Structure 1
Amino acid sequence: MEIRRKTVKKKILLILLVLLIAVSLVACAASAEDWKLTLAYSVWPDWEPFIHVAAPLLEEMGYEVTMVDIGGDWSLALEGILAGDIDVVTQASDFCHLHFWEAYRDRLIHLGCCGYGAMQGLAVTPYTDVDTIQELNANVDLFDGEIVGIEAGSGLMGCTADAITIYGLNYTLIEGSTAAMVADRDAAVAKGEDWLGVWWAPFWADVAYPMKMLKGDTELLFGGMDRFYFVARPEFIDEHPAAAQLLMNLTLSYGDYMDIGGWIAVEELSAGEAAAKWLDQNEHHWTKWFPYPYAFPYVP
């Protein structure tokens, strides 16, 4: 009986040793592959802080983060996720990117809500005597028949094109960039001229000089209060559970937007610098985002 007990013990120890080696090999493989992330974003100062908040926290957890600018081309970014070139797309809008999302929703997921409270639509200079979309056709000459737009691939441009068609607006939508749009607005304000363009809030340029959002979106083409998400493949949660949990916990409030936007507009900080300032002042807030049972500093 004693010999049999020793034999059984040896077998158990051998099985445990094999299991330990297997777990170690899996862990080594995971640490070699699963701690590298590619995050895609668009260089829009008011949305860009999402990635500048997320990236340093992921790096604190031990991830090697590569940031890729998609230039506002969301279809390219979502295709990049499916191709495996991108792990996460940041700052995807609940409404403005809806037409992109409808085409990919069966293959991609939202990683929680990372921000809320945004609004978008058409806006005019605050001194302009136009208050609704329905008044635009009676004031075509006031704006030279043009709506100043931003990047061609943005969701807001798609919403605006729909608005021109559905509301029968006699206007041409001008493609460009966010920076060019703001510069055009600033030039009009400096001359006291009326101006019409796409707009949203919170927006650093709106903090510097608030615009008047037009009412009358009866078809809700621009939606209501917007939310923002991180987007990834469903497999991301299993492949990068710690990162997925952090991103699902990460949330910036409307007040956070306004703080960051104010620093960009008033203090002329870059989006990255403004996000870093927010992190420095809000450690009590973001330390709670690290996945349980870890606490800051995160130890993988």
Structure 2
Amino acid sequence: MIKQPINRRIRFASLAMIAGAGLAAGSAQAQDKGTVNLAYVEWASEVASTNVVRAVLEQAGYEVEITSLSAAAMWQAVASGDADAIVAAWLPTTHEHYLERVSDDVVDLGTNLDGTKLGLVVPAYTDVDSIAELDENADTFDGTITGIDPGAGLMSLTEKVIENYDLEEVDLQSGSGATMTAALDSALDNKEDIVVTSWTPHWMFARWDLKYLEDPKDVYGGAEQIHTIARDGLKEDLPGAYAILDAFEWTPEQMGEVMLGNQAEDAEPYEVAKQWVAENQDVVQEWLSES
């Protein structure tokens, strides 16, 4: 369980001043280091990580632009050079087919977060415990698995789940990460059953009492990692930014702090990221030391 940071709002003003000082110092060191374009998919985890990397690169003196895309478009953007990098590659399973298509045009910088999980999630009070039980209990959740954006690797895997488990009474409904969590919130408020596609790390597990359904056929696979992927040629064009991206690595607990911060009322992910960067300069300096 990820614990929510204590007194986050009380510390915000002072931390913002620290962040501002750090970013100003970085800009003073190098005003013309160049612009880094980051692409990401609109998942809570990737919103958190991409904004943190943005804040760190800005502290180092780079201009940074971030663009939210579908998973397929995100991979195509980094392969074509429209984006310089992504820190949102779920491997070896979820995004495997995307990597296979563009492997000649990108560089895998390795793991930036270890210990992820994919699967179907239900409220803890739900009587169903396994994917194999879904068809016979389809009426309890209206025969619907509430999914995320249709281009996500998680959705492709869920389609395989429906096929491999012969779920004839179940349909997969696409949407987005936001619509999925909104549907889950509503179901929990009304003590209703619901099945959603989800992943760890995600702030929902800190907020609500949930459980993964067992996957005896192991369609979703075991634990994955999130990787950083750069466009071919970035190392030569922006070696300092490349080094920072290569060094970027954090824990599910650290990511969880940022994700929870993003759920606060009127939270701005970029401001939350800058606050986290200011509060964790010991970690940040390790990422900057190679640049």
Question: Is the structural similarity TM-score above 0.5?
Answer: yes
How many angstroms apart in 2 are the aligned matches of 1:277 and 1:86? 25
Give the structure with higher Rg (CA): 1
Aligned partners of 1:155 and 1:50: how far apart in 2? 18
Q: Deviations over 1:244-296 (max 9, x none)?
A: 1111111120211222233334677343333223212211111111144x6xx
Instruction: Indicate whether 1:78 and 2:75 are aligned.
Output: yes
Does the alignment pair 1:272 with 2:266? no
| Other structure's SS at 1:127 match | coil
Is the CA contact 1:40–1:69 (under 8 Å) kept in the aligned structure 2? Answer: yes
Q: For 1:252-291, what aligned pairs fall within 5 Å after superposition? A: 252-265=250-263, 269-291=267-289
From 229, 232, 255, the equivalent of 1:231 is: 229
Which residue matches 2:89? 92
- Identify which range, 193-202 or 43-52, moves more after superposition: 43-52
- How far apart are 1:137 and its partner, in Å? 1.5
2:83 partner amino acid? I
Q: 1:173-192 alignment to 2 at 5 Å?
A: 173-192=172-191
Q: Which residue of 2 aligns with 1:122?
A: 120
Match of 2:54? Answer: 55
Query: How many angstroms does 1:32 deviate by?
Result: 11
Contact 1:111/1:244 (8 A) holds in 2: no
Displacement of 1:175 in angstroms is 0.8
2:127 maps to 1:134? no
- Residue 200 (structure 2) pairs with residue 207 (structure 1): no
**Quick check: 1:119–1:202 contact (8 Å CA) kept in 2?**
yes
Tell me the residue number matched to 2:147.
Answer: 149
Task: Tell me the C-alpha RMSD between the 2 structures.
Answer: 2.1
Aligned to 1:91, the other structure's residue is in SS state strand
Partner Cα distance (1:41, 1:117) in 2: 20
Provide, for residues 43-77 of structure 1, a one-character-per-residue CA deviation record: whole Å limited to 9, x for no partner. Answer: 3222211111111221222222111111xx22222
Q: Is the 8 A contact 1:45 1:271 kept in 2?
A: no
Partner of 1:7: none
CA distance in 1, matches of 2:289, 2:232: 18
SS at match of 2:111: strand
Report the TM-score when normalising by structure 2: 0.82
Kindly provide the CA deviation profile for residues 137-191 of structure 1, in whole angstroms up to 9, marking residues without a partner as x. 2211111111011111111111101111112112100011111111111111111
| Structure 2 Cα separation of the partners of residues 87 and 217 of structure 1 | 39
Aligned sequence identity (%): 30
Contact 2:48 2:259 in 1 (8 A): no
CA distance in 2, matches of 1:249, 1:288: 8
Amino acid at match of 1:290: L
Contact 2:79-2:102 within 8 A present in 1 as well: no
Q: Is the 8 A contact 1:46 1:271 kept in 2?
A: no
CA distance in 1, matches of 2:51, 2:141: 37
Shift of 1:33: 9.1
> What residue ranges of structure 2 are gaps of 5+ in the alignment?
1-29
Give the number of equivalent residue pairs: 260
Once residues 71 and 95 of structure 2 are traced to their aligned partners in structure 1, the CA distance between those partners, rounded to angstroms, is 8
Unaligned runs of 5+ in 1: 1-30, 295-300
Q: 1:67 to 1:85 in 2, by over 3 A?
A: same
1:45 paired with 2:24, answer no
TM-score, L = length of structure 1: 0.80
Q: Which residue of structure 2 lines up, in the alignment, with residue 28 of structure 1?
A: none
Q: Which residue of 2 aligns with 1:17?
A: none
**In structure 1, how many angstroms separate the alpha carbons of the residues matched to 2:32 and 2:285?**
26
Check whether the contact 1:126–1:212 (CA below 8 A) recurs between aligned residues: yes
Q: Which residue of 1 aligns with 2:4?
A: none
Instruction: Decide whether the 8 Å contact of 2:39 with 2:78 is kept in 1.
Output: no
Judging changes above 3 Å, is the alpha-carbon distance between structure 1 residues 268 and 222 closer, same or farther for their aligned structure 2 residues?
Answer: farther
Q: Is the 8 A contact 2:41 2:47 kept in 1?
A: yes
Tell me the CA shift for residue 111 of structure 1: 1.8
5 Å-filtered alignment, 1:15-26, equals none
